[in-house]
Structure 1
């Protein structure tokens, strides 16, 4: 009988005591039998380390690493993925609940792609359904062009399975954009990203989410880190430069589009404004593929790019 490939679940934790046990239970009870669970804790000050220690003592396939210094969530995930020994890696947030067939379903669907992801159901802080799935608000689908991830990401890390090879291609992770966004951008270089329409994760929405798909939680607007316009512009310019530099030369069409965008993002000169607007118009179906917008709203967005960067 052929051995199932090893899948490494990589869980990054930080002060996650409130929801952590529900997520860990859903991971260790997966129907897929050949798992290792690599957990990297980023200097939690609550009961998270104690909870992790209990699971490591109970389950021999659970390995816990306690950071000496706080790395931040991107570097924490990177560390966990580099410690993973499986051919496939499933990133995990600390506050969701996985359906028990998540890994077995994704491993059956990944094929020769470097990344596969599934749909998710939104739940509130108490685990109650919000009667919404991510596909209600995002255009989740197969993607075969990196331009779909030039501006936004629509394939969430909590619902994906990736190859170890993709980690090799993407590390070190840049800290100027989320790790799942970076993984998706690079994954399209060789093979299409695959979408599985099954709902395989209960995606918890609460006020302490690093990222969330809803703007409000229990009627209260989700707090956002306030940034100045100068900070926003600098970050966006850094991102587009990063994506342009990473895009391989053999992807000539994508490289040229990113080159034009990169140039147009340098300043708000009339020339750059025109280049940016026309680049969006000419490539709107690809560049706006990660936004659920009508053709009319895509047209308006492109027009807006004459006076805005994003």
Structure 2
């Protein structure tokens, strides 16, 4: 039986938080990889969103054996974001690691991230894709996406590539991130909030086997099976969501540094409609800060330039 060690200066408590929902197919493999972590001071917080498959029974099995696993079961379905937020708020660790229900973690994941965290409030690692059978593909996430040390909130204007399953985050960032907004993914928002106070660090080493299968809620291509994808929204609805996101990011930015606050203010205003003035302002900002805004894109400089030009005609 695993008993968490007493917190100390060298081994602060780390919380692993997992939100489950009908994840019985792959759950045991993920749980086995969590309890095999070499880091000596862990709690594992699992919130189940009223699963109707074998997930609750599997969780009960592990709770009976491992004293550092806590399971909370919702009486009715809350939805992924609210359920995950509940789990985050139940964590007691100084650092919190976000966990999917269907991946596999390498045993040294938490130990390595904790050793390399330095003064960063968010650190994240590389991942390798596996299929439903657990077969490794040899394809790493940084082969597909630009993963790097993001250094400014402007890196998150239109996108970010730090995946939640790879993150280790200071508790204070999580507390600053809640309530989690509904119009963006949780890892996008947590990454943005982290960059408001300090750069985040990327570890090139693969520490997660990232499973791709038909039931992914969030996959490498942005979704899973047709049954799990959200309904297709209209252009008008999409534009409104983008406006809300930009307004939320501006409001979340602190007053310092002044330049960053001003950029998000101007962007928020420019997203209100497609007037010539707003389109020109938005495009100009994208060109001026294209290194920062397009940092997440695995593209040539020419394609980044074209992306900025497109902002005159399109909201993104």
TM range (shorter): over 0.9
CA RMSD of aligned residues (A): 1.7
- Extract structure 1 runs of 4+ deviating beyond 2 A: 214-217, 220-225
Match of 1:202 in 2: 209
Is this contact kept in 2: 1:8–1:88, CA < 8 A? yes
Question: Is 1:118–2:118 an aligned residue pair?
Answer: no
Describe the SS at the equivalent of 1:236: helix
Question: Which deviations, in whole Å up to 9, do the C-alpha atoms of 1:106-164 show, x marking residues without a partner?
Answer: 11111121100000001111111222101111111111101101211210010010111
Match of 2:4 in 1: none
TM (norm. structure 2) is 0.93
Alpha-carbon distance change, 251 to 69 in structure 1, aligned in 2, over 3 angstroms: farther
What is the CA distance between 1:242 and its match in structure 2?
0.4
What is the CA distance between 1:178 and its match in structure 2?
1.1
Once residues 118 and 84 of structure 2 are traced to their aligned partners in structure 1, the CA distance between those partners, rounded to angstroms, is 24
Question: Which deviations, in whole Å up to 9, do the C-alpha atoms of 1:266-309 show, x marking residues without a partner?
Answer: 00111111111111111111111111111000111111111100
What is the CA distance between 1:221 and its match in structure 2?
8.8
Match of 1:298 in 2: 304
**Which residue, out of 236, 261, 266, partners 2:267?**
261
Alpha-carbon distance change, 278 to 3 in structure 1, aligned in 2, over 3 angstroms: closer
Q: How does 1:1-310 map to 2 (within 5 A)?
A: 4-214=11-221, 224-225=229-230, 226-310=232-316
Once residues 243 and 122 of structure 2 are traced to their aligned partners in structure 1, the CA distance between those partners, rounded to angstroms, is 27
Is this contact kept in 2: 1:215–1:221, CA < 8 A? no
The range that moved more, 260-269 or 222-231, is: 222-231
Once residues 226 and 75 of structure 2 are traced to their aligned partners in structure 1, the CA distance between those partners, rounded to angstroms, is 34
Alpha-carbon distance change, 15 to 216 in structure 1, aligned in 2, over 3 angstroms: closer
Once residues 260 and 9 of structure 2 are traced to their aligned partners in structure 1, the CA distance between those partners, rounded to angstroms, is 40
Is this contact kept in 2: 1:216–1:222, CA < 8 A? no
What is the CA distance between 1:230 and its match in structure 2?
1.5
Uncovered stretches (5+) of structure 2, i.e. residues with no partner: 1-7
Describe the SS at the equivalent of 2:24: coil
Question: Which deviations, in whole Å up to 9, do the C-alpha atoms of 1:47-76 show, x marking residues without a partner?
Answer: 111111111111111000001222221221
Once residues 27 and 216 of structure 1 are traced to their aligned partners in structure 2, the CA distance between those partners, rounded to angstroms, is 24
Uncovered stretches (5+) of structure 1, i.e. residues with no partner: none
- How many aligned positions are there? 308
Is this contact kept in 1: 2:217–2:229, CA < 8 A? no
